Amino acid sequence: MATPRLGIIGLGTFGINHLRCFRQLGYTGTAQLVAGCEINESLLEERQEEFDFAPYTDFREMLDKEQLDGVTVVTPDHLHHDIVLAAAQAGVNVLCEKPLDVTAKGCVEMIEACQKAVGRITGKVTRYLRPPGGNYSQAVLGYLAGSPYTMVLWTHSAGDWGNPPVSGIVQRCLKNVRPGSIILMHGGDINSVRALPHIIRGLRYRNLEPVTLPEMLGPGHTYQMTIAQALALPQNGWQPEAVK
């Protein structure tokens, strides 16, 4: 299988974290950072010298020329919308930093554009949504009620976004784990990758088999609940639930 070709749009305060992450993935041969886009030309030159990628000031040109497999969008929030729609139209996988957009209407347009792109390319329908930080409102639940999505939260967070020691990641994932637990990993740093085999072995030692969300959250799953029930839950992202 060919190594995924990745690009980053927005190379500022948060963008440099994505650059570092993709460089790590390059060390392991997991992915290749090939392009970066930034309208600040002096910053673009600085980042390009440090991380060695094809530089662009126009994201549309980058999407058109580089044959990318995926991009991350790390621009100011009000710029997310048009970039995500362009990436979806180009058939490029896209990860957008939160918040998606500055309006609810824009968020819906972005979600639906990506859903259509996935369907067009794979023939599959995307089914799951995790709100950032596990936070949701009645407006979000109202949107879900008329959509094909199931909102999925989690019971265990790896806490791996800051690249803590492997032992800490493993401990957080396995503490009080039980049938039906959902483990949230961010997977951007090398210790997340190093921890994963230990987590899988720890689960199997406890006679628990890791499965995908479609396998666990199929029809009749015991954690399915109504919107009314979901609204009664604390919004802290730590409830074992799938809301539809």
For the stretch 88-117, pLDDT in tens is 999 999 999 988 999 989 999 999 999 899
Co-location of 115 and 10 in the same domain = yes
Co-location of 114 and 33 in the same domain = yes
pLDDT range class, residue 64, cuts 50, 70, 90: very high
Predicted confidence at residue 243, as pLDDT, reads 36
- Residues 119, 151, 82, 59: is their CA dihedral positive or negative? negative
Looking from the CA of 67 toward its CB, the CA atoms found within 13 Å total: 2
Averaged pLDDT for residues 61-74: 97
> Which residue range forms the structural domain that includes residue 88?
5-125
Co-location of 40 and 88 in the same domain = yes
In a domain, 133, yes or no: no
In a domain, 42, yes or no: yes
pLDDT averaged over every residue in the chain: 86
Predicted confidence at residue 30, as pLDDT, reads 87
Averaged pLDDT for residues 19-40: 93
Where residue 47 sits, what CATH number does that domain have?
A: 3.40.50.720
Where residue 202 sits, what CATH number does that domain have?
A: 3.20.20.370
Of the listed ranges 1-15, 23-37, 73-87, 181-195, the least confidently predicted one is 181-195
- The amino acid at 89: Q
pLDDT range class, residue 147, cuts 50, 70, 90: confident
In a domain, 137, yes or no: no
In a domain, 62, yes or no: yes
Of the listed ranges 66-80, 174-188, 214-228, the least confidently predicted one is 214-228
Count of structural domains, the chain: 2
Co-location of 105 and 168 in the same domain = no
Co-location of 154 and 93 in the same domain = no
For residue 154, what are the contacts with CB-CB under 8 A and spacing of at least 6?
130, 134, 182, 183, 184, 237, 238, 240
Averaged pLDDT for residues 56-63: 98
Co-location of 63 and 97 in the same domain = yes
In a domain, 138, yes or no: no
- The residue ranking higher by pLDDT, 65 or 188, is 65
Identify the bridge partners of residue 96 per DSSP, sorted by sequence position.
73
Co-location of 73 and 154 in the same domain = no
